[in-house]
Amino acid sequence: MTMRRTDHPAVETLLQQPGLDTALRTIGEKVLAQERLTPKDGITLFEKGEPGLLGALANAVRERMHGHKTYFNRNFHIEPTNVCVFACKFCAYSRLYKHREEGWELSIDQMLDIVKGYDGQPVTEVHIVGGVHPKMNLEFFCELMRKIKAHRPDLHIKGFTAVELDYMFRKAKVSVEEGMRIMHEAGLQSMPGGGAEIFDPAIRAQICHDKVDADGWLHIHRTAHQLGMVTNATMLYGHIENYGHRIDHMERLRQLQDETHGFNTFIPLKFRNKDNEMSHIPESTVIEDLRMYAIARLYMDNFSHLKAYWPMLGRSTAQLTLSFGVNDLDGTIDDTTKIYSMAGAEEQHPSMNTAQLAMLIKQAGRRPVERDTVYNEIKDYTDEVFSDEELLAN
């Protein structure tokens, strides 16, 4: 469906402002005409785009694609370990193998117990992600997934970043193609988007020098897509990268998406600076976060969904992103992830029940819609009436 100029009179008015930079006006016209933005356009948006204009444009795109619908899913996380062989400087969560007594390592039975704890509850997805432990190998995770599937076949298994998979496959001496096939057959249905950080090699060398590089990350996702799996993509922004690096990162993802159409969602991740080796770097402002989301919506024209991860952003900023292009909020209904609370996010116990999440979306003037991992709609909560007990529960 093409956007007619009159579909968005507010954007029209903004674009007609006499003082508006001509390059921005041209880009705005391109967005309304649904033309693809170039890398140069992307840089111009970062350098010159005011939040008002960016938000209006991103919102027009978001409403064209999804109307007021804002998706969430009911999932829980399993973090098998925070012991990690890698040494990413931004990571507050991991403990090196030599200090593994400070971290945690869950057995298969302990992880199955977590799954069993959700018996009878309407969760649709388990998200498995953690550090890269040298002893938790391909066979270990295949056994875990087979047991999860035997216990609860309908639970969708989303798991393992390309970083974890790359290490597992190298250790098992299998090719990426072979390794992905083995994981898929054992029960892996989709992959989260972590480990992408910033693809530029000079930035990677400074913040995460020893883990899989951009080509390796993209190869694993391409292979997953070829097997019919969907995956997500992330970008860690707001540290030492510049706008050019952000555009280069998004451009590489956009190109792979043109090739495979296997990405579901793009998730910009705001760098948090507590308790890591990059604590001297100030965090981005909320305005910069909102600009980032809006530009992501405008640039990533072949990604259907743009997701905000509320446990990291905090609830109020996450709510604001819904006016800056975001149409999906993640979603852990329980306090089951530590990755952001350990890096200084406002949400030390990221837990919201369905009523609270739906209300947060409604208060932003949007329609809360529960989805499964592949965006089949499960329930529209727009007209649902919630009790005070549900809304005030901890």
Is 197 near ligand V47 (CB under 6 A)? yes
Residues annotated as binding site for [4Fe-4S] cluster? Answer: 84, 88, 91
Binding of ligand SF4 at residue 271 (CB under 6 A)? no
The reply on whether position 100 binds ligand V47 by CB under 6 A is no
Total number of residues shown for the chain = 394
Identity of the residue, 27 or 342, whose beta carbon is nearer to ligand SF4 in the bound complex: 342
Taking the complex as a whole, the smallest distance from the CB of residue 123 to ligand SF4 amounts, in Å, to 24
Q: How crowded is the C-beta side of 176, counted as CA atoms within 13 Å?
A: 19
Helix/strand/coil for 74 = coil
* Interaction residues for ligand V47, span 290-329 (CB under 6 A): 309
Q: Which of 93, 141, 266, 309 binds ligand SF4 (CB under 6 A)?
A: 93
Least separation, in Å, of the C-beta of 119 and ligand V47? 24
Q: Which of 121, 88, 66, 284 is nearest to 195 (CA)?
A: 88
Residue 369 interacts with which of ligand V47, ligand SF4, none, CB < 5 to 8 Å by class: none
| Angle, CA 305 vertex, CA 303 and CA 380 arms, to 5° | 150
CA atoms within 13 A on the CB side of 161: 21
Per CB under 6 A, does 276 bind ligand SF4?
no
Task: Verify binding: residue 92, ligand V47, rule CB under 6 A.
Answer: yes
Q: Does 345 bind ligand SF4 (CB under 6 A)?
A: no
| Nearest-10 crossing angle of helices 9-16, 22-32 | 160
198 binds ligand SF4 (CB under 6 A): no
**Quick one: which of 350, 345, 392 has its CA closest to 90?**
345
DSSP letter assigned to residue 124: -
234 makes contact with ligand V47 (CB under 6 A): yes
Known binding-site residues for S-adenosyl-L-methionine equal 90, 197
Residue 235 or 294: which CB sits closer to ligand V47?
235
Could you say which of ligand SF4, ligand V47, none residue 84 binds, taking C-beta under 5 to 8 angstroms by partner kind?
ligand SF4
Q: Does 130 bind ligand V47 (CB under 6 A)?
A: no
Q: Which does 262 bind (CB under 5 to 8 A by kind): ligand SF4, ligand V47, none?
A: none
Of residues 91 and 128, the one with the C-beta less far from ligand V47: 91
User: Residue 345 CB: number of other CB atoms within 10 A?
Assistant: 20
**What is the closest distance, in whole angstroms, from the C-beta atom of residue 137 to ligand SF4 in the complex?**
16
Binder of ligand SF4 out of 88, 186, 203, 357 (CB under 6 A):
88
157 binds ligand V47 (CB under 6 A): no
- The strand ranges marked E within the chain are 69-72, 75-78, 83-84, 95-96, 125-128, 156-159, 190-191, 230-237, 263-270, 305-309, 328-330, 367-371, 377-380
Q: Which two tokens stand for residue 256?
A: 């792979």
Q: For residues 51 and 195, which CB has a smaller minimum distance to ligand V47 in the complex?
A: 195
The reply on whether position 188 binds ligand V47 by CB under 6 A is no
What is the Cα–Cα distance from 362 to 360, expressed in whole angstroms? Answer: 6
Binding-site positions: 84, 88, 90-91, 197
Our finding on whether 165 is near ligand SF4 (CB under 6 A) is: no
Taking the C-alpha atoms of residue 63 and residue 54, their distance in angstroms, rounded to an integer, is: 14
Tell which positions 326-345 bind ligand V47, by CB under 6 A: 330, 339, 343
Which of 28, 55, 80, 131 binds ligand SF4 (CB under 6 A)? It is: 131
Which SS3 state, helix, strand or coil, does residue 240 take?
Answer: coil
Residue closer to ligand SF4 (CB basis): 161 or 223: 161
Residues 6 or more apart whose CB falls under 8 angstroms from that of 377 comprise 369, 370, 371
**Residue 75 within binding range of ligand V47, rule CB under 6 A:** no
Name which position in 58, 91, 126, 352 contacts ligand SF4 (CB under 6 A): 91
Residue 357 touching ligand V47 (CB under 6 A): no
Tokens of residue 209, six digits: 């020098």
* 3-state SS track over 179-224: HHHHHHHHCCCEECCCCCCCCCHHHHHHHCCCCCCHHHHHHHHHHH
Are the C-beta atoms of 49 and 295 separated by less than 8 Å?
yes
Residues that bind ligand SF4 (CB under 6 A): 84, 86, 88, 91, 93-94, 131-132, 163, 208, 211
Residues that bind ligand V47 (CB under 6 A): 90-92, 192-195, 197, 232, 234, 236, 267, 269, 271-272, 276, 309, 330, 339, 343
